Amino acid sequence: MKSSHFLEISGLSMSFGGLEAVSNLNLQISEGEIFGLIGPNGAGKSTILNMIGGTLKPTSGKILFKGQDITGLPVHRKAMIGIGRLYQANILFNNFTLVENVLVALHMKIKFNLLKVLFQRRLLARQEKNLHERAANILETVGLIDIKDEVAVNLPHGQQRLLGLAIALAMEPALILLDEPVTGMAADEVEKMLDTTISLIKKFGMTCIIIEHNLRAVMSVCDRVAVVNFGCKIAEEETTKIFNHPKVIEAYLGGEDQCCWE
Amino acid sequence: MLKTTSLVWMMPAVFILLIPGAFGSIYWTSLFIMVLINILLTSSIRVIWLTGQISMGHAAFMMIGAYVSAILTIKAGFSFWLALPVSGLASGLVALVIGFPFLRVTGIYFSILTIMTSETLRHLAYSWTSMTGGKLGLSGIPNPGELTIPLLGTINFQGSSEYYYLTAVIVSVSLLILYLVEKSRYGLTSRAIKESSQLSGAVGINVLWYTVFNFVTACFFAGIAGSLFAHFQSLLTADSRSTFGIISTINFLLYMVIGGEKKFFGPAVGVAFVMVLTELSRTLQEYQSFFIGSLAILIVIKLPGGLIGIPQQIYSILKNTFVNTNAIHPPKSNPIERKL
């Protein structure tokens, strides 16, 4: 049966030994939506993203992306069918310049093989030149063009986040997974980063799942939000209504019967 | 118009051409044949290193090439010209078969697996008496014989100078292929995998496929080098002190680090430097290994870019001494950089 949803997660569970990190998760995300995933630390949010776009293979359950079963697919295949990712930690090609970082991310935009490399070098050189321009464009949109020849590891944290975003955007994914895009950023950077991110996502018409602890950021950008705690989805609502949900209040502020000061 | 870059290219080429005439003895020509073969081996082990892996089994792939080429020419009546590419392909095929399971692990685990494979294959060659001659070795490997080349006429590759030129041509073509591959997107992809295999996968690079590709390419050229070695030596043995022992692989890695593993021509510089120095320091007798060893340690500590990095190192020292770097790169006043 072909699913009408862009991303459909059904009955997804993941256990590490005896620990059930995610249990029986169901989510439907439609195209063009910006979906927030929030919850306390260790709730299983990153595990969920890792199963959608990373290397984790769920214990049970199914993930359908544009009607295609992508459960347990190798990570480069997921990238090929259009899932891009910004990691929580700044994972970059550390000793590469910014341009090289983005050039590598444009890997899927060029077809090359041994024969072409040896005998059609002009053709490949022309294609590489186009990619170079494209990489410069991408760096310009995230505002890093002035330092494009800097080595990635030398950048301050905020700019490394932006570079991570540039890498994810360079792949032109249909679905982009942002794992705490504004983590560790100063207040003035947060706004800038969010503005850049959301305007670009809207411009390219991408669907997006955001994990974020900064609730104000979540409120300002997401269309819908799901709250996860102890591996279970405890609420899923439109952003404006989510914080009225009793279970959410309980998860974040503690319920009446679990007061810890007594 | 002659550019500086083409001059830089031509100087070693002319030097390589002049070697048999300049030294005029079979002894030196033979040494330089081994230098060329080792350059190919060291440059190819660097191809594996490009993806961040260290293969400790390169000598075994050279051995596969050598024995395949020798057995084909002795027992199956192949000519050298056919046995040469076949030996490369055989070596590459073995690498392809073991590459997929082996390269699922990385780092030290991959190195351990390749050491074990290397020694297992060497023992196989040492014990398989009917095929490889076992302990007695495989002797009577024919030389390439005559070849008619347009414009040059018929050349007999029996003499060591002729064999030297043959090796020089084959090694140069091999290095050219490796160079073009490295300067292409293959090189960028390999370096990206070395930097972060996780992110490489996430941007759509099939990490396993590309590491195996590099491994197979490297082993193909190790096989070619092995074939050149076999027809040069005309006698092959596979005991633990032969060229196919672990120590050879360690030597390749040593040449690579001394020459400078970051640059394509680092291995060539390293091989030429260490091998010629080893020959020249023979008079030191028992102190020779002490001398070479301490020099290697000194180079590794004092020259992080290896021998080939010396010009750049001098340049940056000069720049730091005479130019005030702060004047060129003023401290950035980017608001994003400002931290509490």
* Structural contact between residues B120 and B252, judged by C-beta atoms closer than 8 angstroms: no
- The mean per-residue pLDDT over the stretch A252-257 comes to 65
Q: Cα A245 to chain center, whole Å?
A: 26
Distance, in angstroms, between B195 CA and closest chain A CA?
A: 5
Minimal Cβ distance to B336: which of A79, A108, A156: A156
Nearest C-alpha of chain B: how many angstroms from A167? 8
Helix H segments across chain B? 4-23, 26-50, 58-75, 80-102, 108-127, 129-132, 160-183, 185-195, 197-202, 207-233, 246-259, 266-280, 288-302, 310-322, 325-328
List CB contacts (< 8 A) between A108 and chain B: 203-204
Which residues in chain B are contacts of A114 at CB distance < 8 A?
181
Per-residue pLDDT, A118: 87
At residue B266, the pLDDT reads 92
The nearest alpha carbon in chain A to B337 belongs to A156
Reply yes or no on whether the pLDDT at A257 is more than 70: no
Query: Which residue in B has a C-alpha nearest to residue A103's C-alpha?
Result: B188
Interchain contact, A85 vs B181, CB within 8 Å: no
Partners of B337 on chain A (C-beta within 8 Å) are 156, 158-159
The answer to whether the CB atoms of A54 and B184 lie below 8 A apart is no
Percent of chain B with pLDDT over 90: 55
Q: Among A91, A118, A158, select the one facing B199 at the smallest CB separation.
A: A91
Is A92 in Cβ contact with B202 (below 8 Å)? no
With pLDDT > 90 as the criterion, what percentage of chain A qualifies?
18
pLDDT band at A72 (very low <50, low <70, confident <90, very high): confident
Instruction: Give the pLDDT band (50/70/90) at residue A262.
Output: very low
Question: Is B192 within 8 Å of A93 when comparing Cβ atoms?
Answer: yes
Interface contact B339-A156, CB threshold 8 A: yes
CB proximity A123 to B under 8 Å: no
Among B179, B180, B185, the residue to mutate for chain A (most A Cβ within 10 A): B185
Lowest mean pLDDT among A13-22, B32-41, B154-163, B238-247: B154-163
Instruction: Enumerate the residues of chain B whose CB falls inside 8 A of the CB of residue A124.
Output: 184-185
How far apart are the CA of B190 and the nearest CA of chain A, in angstroms?
10
CB B40 within 8 A of CB B219: no
Nearest by CB to A80, from B188, B199, B204: name it.
B204
Q: Which one is predicted more confidently, B64 or B4?
A: B64
Q: What is the ipTM of this complex?
A: 0.87
- In this prediction, residue B325 carries a pLDDT of 55
Residue B304 confidence (pLDDT): 86
Higher-confidence position of A175 and A195: A175
Name the residue in chain A with its Cα closest to that of B179. Answer: A118
Encode pLDDT of A18-38 as tens digits: 888 888 888 888 888 899 888
Distance from CA of A258 to the nearest CA of B (A): 37
Lowest mean pLDDT among A98-107, A145-154, A156-165, A228-237: A228-237
Among chain B residues, the shortest Cα distance to A192 is held by: B336
Q: Looking at residues A242-254, what average pLDDT do you find?
A: 76
Q: What pLDDT does residue A20 have?
A: 83
Give pLDDT, residue B159.
Answer: 80
Work out the pLDDT band at B337, boundaries 50, 70, 90: very low
Q: In a 3-state reduction of DSSP, which class is residue B293?
A: helix
Contact B202 A75 (CB under 8 A): yes
How far apart CA B34 and CA B61 sit, in angstroms, is: 17
pLDDT, tens digit (0-9, with 9 covering 90-100), for B155-209: 778 788 888 889 999 999 999 999 999 999 999 999 999 999 999 999 999 999 9
Cβ contact, residue pair A79, B204, below 8 Å? yes
Q: Which residue of B has its CA nearest to A94?
A: B195
Q: Closest-CA residue in chain B for A89? A: B199
Range in A214-223, B31-40, B64-73, B102-111 with the lowest mean pLDDT: A214-223
- Distance (Å, rounded) from C-alpha B276 to C-alpha A61? 64
Interface test with B, best of A51, A91, A99, A107 (most B CBs within 10 A): A107
Segment B132-160 shows an average pLDDT of 81
Partners of A75 on chain B (C-beta within 8 Å) are 201-202
Helices (H), A96-156: 98-105, 114-119, 121-141
Q: Please check the confidence at residue B62 and state whether its pLDDT lies above 90.
A: yes
Residues in chain B: 340
Of B184, B195, B201, the CB nearest to A95: B195
Q: Is A66 left (phi over 0), alpha (psi -120 to 50) or beta?
A: left
Give the pLDDT confidence score for residue B2 in this predicted structure: 56
C-beta separation of A204 from A169 below 8 A: yes
Confidence band, pLDDT 50/70/90 cuts, at residue A40: confident
**Does residue A170 surpass a pLDDT of 60?**
yes
Q: Which residues from chain B sit within 8 angstroms of residue A169, using beta carbons?
A: none
Q: What is the pLDDT of residue A143?
A: 86
pLDDT average, residue stretch B305-317 = 89
Q: Which residues are paired to A225 by β-bridges? A: A36, A237
Give this prediction's pTM: 0.89
| Average pLDDT of the residues of chain A | 85
- List the single residue in A105, A117, A189 with the smallest CB-CB distance to B203: A105
The pLDDT of B55-64, averaged and rounded, is 94
Does position A261 have pLDDT exceeding 50, yes or no?
no
* pLDDT of A1 strictly over 80: no
The span from the CA of B295 to the CA of B211, in Å, is 33
Check residue A111 and give its pLDDT.
85
A160 contacts on B by Cβ (under 8 Å): none
C-alpha to C-alpha distance for B250 and B336, rounded to whole angstroms: 47
Quick one: closest CA in B to A95, which residue? B195
Give the pLDDT score at B336: 45
**pLDDT band of A246, cuts 50, 70, 90:** confident
Task: Give mean pLDDT, residues B243-262.
Answer: 92
B189, closest residue in chain A (CA to CA)? A104
pLDDT band at B3 (very low <50, low <70, confident <90, very high): low
Q: Which residues contact A122 (CB under 8 A, 6 or more apart)?
A: none
Q: Which residue of B has its CA nearest to A101?
A: B192
For residue range B93-108, list pLDDT tens digits in order: 999 999 999 999 999 9
pLDDT at A260 > cutoff 70: no
pLDDT of residue B338: 38
pLDDT surpasses 80 at A251: no
3-state secondary structure of B94: helix
Give A-chain residues touching B193 at CB under 8 angstroms: none
Q: What is the pLDDT of residue B19?
A: 76
Question: Stretch A145-158: mean pLDDT, rounded?
Answer: 89
Q: Which of B196, B201, B337 sits opposite A93 (nearest CB)?
A: B196
The reply to whether residue A55 touches residue B201, judged by beta carbons under 8 angstroms, is: yes
Mean pLDDT over B29-57 rounds to 94
Q: Which of A51, A76, A94, A176 to mutate to test the interface with B (most CBs of B within 10 A)?
A: A76
